Amino acid sequence: MKTLLMIAGVVVLVLVLLIVIMLVIGSRLNPNHTASRSIKLRRSPADVFAVIHNFEQSPAWRSDVKKVEMIGVVDGHVRFREEGSNGAVTYEVLDDIAPQRLVTRIVDVDLGYSGTWTYDLQPAEGGSMLRITENGVVTNPMFRFMSRYIFGQTATMNTYLKSLAAHFGEAIDTVP
């Protein structure tokens, strides 16, 4: 019994030490980051823009979104709330230039992260090129550590682009 308690104590101590190390490293990382991913699709910029701009239809093609609620216009910006595997997040549209550019921003201030996604669409041979650029701020040091070293700062963009490609019947294994 004593040995079992000693092993349990060592395990708890190691876990606490790992968490402290992650918090210390996370607190030393820059909270701001810029990350970008792009994909070429065999659809026109107008076709792609129509899909990414139709927020209410996101649950139909995005694997990470369960529900979208349109909130309306607040201070001149369209707002919507996505509910998904990571909880609920409220966004607003900052820039909307069909079919070239869409900029959304996280409105919520208590998530531990915030920022914008800029969707840039350009015609490309046989279709279009979509580039998503994230200008993010991760205020929570644990989230900062995890986004940098565990799941990566582009994981959500990769999932989004893979889902978009699948929606158009195109398969991609990796996102450049």
Domain boundaries, the chain: 1-30, 31-167
Q: What local confidence, expressed as pLDDT, does residue 176 receive?
A: 56
pLDDT tens-digit map of 30-40: 999 999 999 99
Average pLDDT, integer, range 15-35: 90
Q: Which CATH number fits domain 31-167: 3.40.1280.30, 1.20.120.1200, 3.30.530.20, 3.60.15.10?
A: 3.30.530.20
Label residue 116 exposed, middle or buried (CB < 10 Å: 0-12, 13-18, 19+): middle
Q: Does residue 174 surpass a pLDDT of 60?
A: no
pLDDT tens-digit map of 63-106: 899 999 999 999 999 999 999 987 999 999 999 999 999 999 99
Q: From start to end of 7-112, where are the E strands?
A: 32-41, 65-74, 77-84, 87-97, 101-106
Average pLDDT, the chain: 91
Entry pTM: 0.87
